């Protein structure tokens, strides 16, 4: 059974490119590079990881793919292109010359327009992904879930994955409207979900594993073990916990499942979804 951390980040920090790192996140205002992550992967028996974009510019793909070239444990890269650009098809053709590029993401959560996913130019860009065998990571808050359902409904043969279980309000133990929204999205069989980014939606200093159980119960019920994948969200997770304690939230929860079911969540689904060349 191969174990894959399906969601983490690397950066060489500067405030211009990473403006989303605010003063409450001072621990993130430094470089985070593969050597540091590798120790955590090895200590937790992970065989590899997916590096996901953390800035929206043309340099990000070259940066992450360059790291992957030097570090074989980086099995895939979810990059960024301007999906609204006139030349989006040419951009995609260029970056997919490197087979490690397996998906695209845009920081939807930071867009001022909650309807951004439905903008015609954005939809036009999404329509090009399948021809390059690229998935799309959906980064949203619960308020975006109805829009996300209308979005994915238009692409029955495009692979989507919801990052961070759509960031429910775990700190206040609020299940709705998140629960209804995530159940609606799960009705589409081409939509997967990442068990990642949960600790930063909880109380950073006081969370306990039991806080996440109601949310994990929901996503396991609606996605099943065939469409869920574990992700650390390292180093962002360091705001609220260390690598080991974060992945234990999921590994402890699935401990009662069969070895095959655990294998799907811990790596098999990520390998299939991202078409990783293992």
Q: What is the largest CA-CA distance in the chain?
A: 50
| Token pair recorded at residue 195 | 């068990």
pLDDT exceeds cutoff 90 at 110: no
pLDDT exceeds cutoff 90 at 109: no
pLDDT exceeds cutoff 90 at 1: no
Query: Does a structural domain hold residue 124?
Result: yes
- pLDDT digits 0-9 by tens, 127-175: 999 999 999 999 999 999 999 999 999 999 999 999 999 999 999 999 9
Contacts of 132 (CB under 8 A, 6+ apart): 92, 93, 96
Give yes or no for a contact between 30 and 3, defined as CB atoms under 8 angstroms apart.
no
Tell me what pLDDT residue 58 has.
82
Which residue is listed with tokens 């811990």?
Answer: 266
- pLDDT digits 0-9 by tens, 201-250: 999 999 999 999 999 999 999 999 999 999 999 999 999 999 999 999 99
Q: How many independent structural domains does the chain possess?
A: 1
Give yes or no for a contact between 28 and 55, defined as CB atoms under 8 angstroms apart.
no
Tell me the three state secondary structure of residue 221: helix
Tell me what pLDDT residue 23 has.
93
- Measured CA to CA in angstroms, residue 48 lies from 35, 62, 73, 160 at distances of 13, 19, 4, 21
| Token pair recorded at residue 131 | 């021809």
- pLDDT digits 0-9 by tens, 251-277: 999 999 999 999 999 999 999 999 998
pTM of the model: 0.97
Q: Is the omega angle on the peptide bond into residue 269 within 30 degrees of 0, that is, cis?
A: no
| Token pair recorded at residue 106 | 């845009």
Q: For residue 172, what are the domain limits?
A: 4-273
For residue 255, give the CATH number of its domain.
Answer: 3.20.20.140
Percent of the chain whose pLDDT exceeds 90: 96
Query: Does a structural domain hold residue 278?
Result: no
**Element spanning 34, H or E:** helix 34-43
Question: Residue 110: which of 41, 186, 56, 168 has the closest Cα?
Answer: 56
If you average pLDDT over every residue of the chain, what do you get? 97
Contacts of 82 (CB under 8 A, 6+ apart): 56, 88, 91, 125
In the predicted model, what is the mean pLDDT of residues 68-84? 97
**Element spanning 253, H or E:** helix 243-253
- pLDDT digits 0-9 by tens, 11-42: 999 999 999 999 999 999 999 999 999 999 99
């Amino acid at each position: 059974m191969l174990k894959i951390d399906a969601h983490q980040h690397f950066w060489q920090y500067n405030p211009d490119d990473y403006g989303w790192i605010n003063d409450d996140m001072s621990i993130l205002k430094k470089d985070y590079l593969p050597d540091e992550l590798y120790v955590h992967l090895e200590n937790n028996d992970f065989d590899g990881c997916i590096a996901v974009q953390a800035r929206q510019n043309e340099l990000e793909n070259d940066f992450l793919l360059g790291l992957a070239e030097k570090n074989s444990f980086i099995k895939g890269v979810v990059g960024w292109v301007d999906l609204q650009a006139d030349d989006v098809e040419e951009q995609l053709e260029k970056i997919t010359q490197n087979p490690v590029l397996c998906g695209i993401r845009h920081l939807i959560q930071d867009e001022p327009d909650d309807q951004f996913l439905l903008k015609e130019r954005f939809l036009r860009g999404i329509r090009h992904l399948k021809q390059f065998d690229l998935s799309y990571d959906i980064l949203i808050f619960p308020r975006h879930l109805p829009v996300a359902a209308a979005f994915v409904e238009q692409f029955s043969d495009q692979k989507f994955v919801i990052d961070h279980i759509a960031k429910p309000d775990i700190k206040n133990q609020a299940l709705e409207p998140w629960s209804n929204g995530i159940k609606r999205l799960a009705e589409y069989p081409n939509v997967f979900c990442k068990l990642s980014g949960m600790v930063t939606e909880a109380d950073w200093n006081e969370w306990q594993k039991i806080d996440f159980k109601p949310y994990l119960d929901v996503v396991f019920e609606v996605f099943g073990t065939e469409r869920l994948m574990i992700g650390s969200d390292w180093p962002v997770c360091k705001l609220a916990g260390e690598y080991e304690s974060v992945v234990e939230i999921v590994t402890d929860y699935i401990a009662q499942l069969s070895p095959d079911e655990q294998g799907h969540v811990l790596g098999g689904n990520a390998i299939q979804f991202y078409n990783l060349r293992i």
